Structure 1
Amino acid sequence: MDPADFYTGLVVELYSPLKSGHEDPERYARFVLDSGEPALELGCGDGDPLLALRALALDVEGVDSSADMLARCRELAAREGIDVVVHHQRMEELDLDRSFRSIFLAGPTFNLLPDDDTALAALRRIRTHLTPDGTALVPLFVPSPTPTEQLGLARGTTRDDGAVLRVGVTAEERDEKTRVQRSTLRYERVLDGLSTVDERVWTIHWYSRDGFRELARAAGLEVVDVQDDDGHPAAHDASDVTFVLRAAR
């Protein structure tokens, strides 16, 4: 399923309450302050951490392929009295009339791109929108298969209005050759005894470090560092890493 179609309707409503954690805005604020403004967050979704960065008066815009997520972002911004500029575009088709000194993804949203060709197109658009002295951050991860005994189990929470919200993996396919994992997620909201259910296929495409370096090089970018979540050099066997990219010299 296309990410723009995945993040619609019930999924958007349940996304934030069921999110396992929220991004640390300080990490991205430091990046923007170090690399420079203006900045652009790719895959900004409903505004985590974009709105926190805007609240710090940083010149940051957002891009997302989901119109529903952007509508939620604008709603939250209006509620908090924050001015925000967001664009409804795909990463691989990014076409803005501005260049940026800082371009980043807050979390491994890049893994939602379905294949290497789409990833290369997105990296080329990043290169096009970077200033000559600009820097890009691209977090990536290698997903672990869902243990068989956890298939069909759901995690959940209860909203302030009494709605019970749940999500769980009901089925999964994994192809090591194409580096793709497809998980069927079941979303459910139970309110006043009425259950609303939606099932979506969540596709994750992962990369080897050397493979991503080659894609970056083909896009006119060079890898200047591979970091862990704390900004330190990532261990060689780490499954969660952040690539720091700049325009190739």
Structure 2
Amino acid sequence: MDPADFYSGIVVDTYARLKSSTFDPEPYVRFVQQHGEPALEIGCGDGEPMLDLRAAGLDVDGVDSSADMVARCREKAAERGLPTGVFHQRVESLDLERCYASIYFAGPTFNLLPDDEIASRALRAIRAHLTEDGAALVPLWVPDPTPTRELGVTRSTHDGPDVELRYTPVSELFDLQRRTRVTTARYERITPAGVEVSDREWLIHWHTPSGFRALCLAAGLRVVSLVDDETGAPASEASTAFTGTVTAG
């Protein structure tokens, strides 16, 4: 899935995801099968792809910072008859009862952590919840500025036959020094009963490969691999989408 589609699909309150593509569960299935169970999905949202992994017979818990999404995930799990643990916590302050052989972010959720300090705390929390032989998968993304021609342009999709979801990027601040992109966006949910509107600011904070390695080292994690998602080769400083696999140091 393209990272831009992932971010246009971020959930607003109890709205369904506005997105143009879905998660492929297979890479996460393979990761968990390789590194073992139990597994933890960070930023599980409303259960995609976590519930598919559960349906495949894998022992996977989920955690998300949105209480609305945790509730929605539990509802979807119940509808599918899937037992699972889903927790309402922030990744930088994880406090779960068990450790995990596999921990992964589904999509570049790590980029939503607003600065290096919180990212460092998140990595330390992951380290504390890994088994000694466990591994974590961290997809990362270096964004471009949103093209000016796209600001003010609405994208839409449907959540069922009578619900239209609209996403409009309104304005943006792009800061190379801070490595942040802050997009002000309008979300609309249109139903026969009326229109719900929510204006939000979404901050993306990115990391270079060398910067991510340094954060991991400080958190007691060892970077086993850092792979460019487009080429499959080791990530370079020019890579804009890459995935890190880390283990306890």
Amino acid at match of 1:225: S
**Distance in 1 between residues matched to 2:208 and 2:160, nearest whole Å:** 42
**Distance in 2 between residues matched to 1:22 and 1:7, nearest whole Å:** 14
Q: Return the offset for 1:194.
A: 2.6
Q: Return the offset for 1:122.
A: 0.4
SS state at 2:203 partner: strand
Change beyond 3 A, Cα 1:231–1:28: farther
Aligned to 1:246: 247
**Distance in 2 between residues matched to 1:184 and 1:74, nearest whole Å:** 30
Alignment of 1:82-161 (within 5 A): 82-161=82-161
SS state at 2:83 partner: coil
Q: Return the offset for 1:137.
A: 0.4
- Note the residue ranges of structure 1 that are not aligned, 5 or more in a row: 1-5
Q: Is the 8 A contact 1:7 1:66 kept in 2?
A: no
**Distance in 1 between residues matched to 2:194 and 2:47, nearest whole Å:** 29
Question: Is 1:14 the counterpart of 2:3 in the alignment?
Answer: no
Change beyond 3 A, Cα 1:234–1:20: farther
Aligned to 2:217: 217
Change beyond 3 A, Cα 1:159–1:246: closer
Q: Deviations over 1:4-47 (max 9, x none)?
A: xx8553xx4131xx212211111101100000111111111111
Aligned to 1:226: 226
Q: Deviations over 1:111-136 (max 9, x none)?
A: 11010000000000111111111111
**Distance in 1 between residues matched to 2:166 and 2:12, nearest whole Å:** 16
SS state at 2:233 partner: coil
**Distance in 1 between residues matched to 2:34 and 2:232, nearest whole Å:** 16
Aligned to 1:194: 194
Root-mean-square deviation over aligned CA pairs: 1.7
**Distance in 2 between residues matched to 1:104 and 1:231, nearest whole Å:** 21
Q: Is the 8 A contact 2:105 2:138 kept in 1?
A: yes
Q: Percent identity?
A: 52
**Distance in 2 between residues matched to 1:42 and 1:188, nearest whole Å:** 26
**Distance in 2 between residues matched to 1:191 and 1:247, nearest whole Å:** 48
**Distance in 2 between residues matched to 1:199 and 1:228, nearest whole Å:** 34
Amino acid at match of 1:79: E
Q: Is the 8 A contact 1:157 1:165 kept in 2?
A: yes
SS state at 1:123 partner: helix
Which structure 1 residue ranges, 4+ long, deviate > 6 Å from structure 2?
none
Q: Return the offset for 1:230.
A: 7.8
Moved more, 151-160 or 195-204: 151-160
SS state at 2:30 partner: helix
- Note the residue ranges of structure 2 that are not aligned, 5 or more in a row: 1-9
Change beyond 3 A, Cα 1:176–1:148: same
Q: Return the offset for 1:79.
A: 1.0
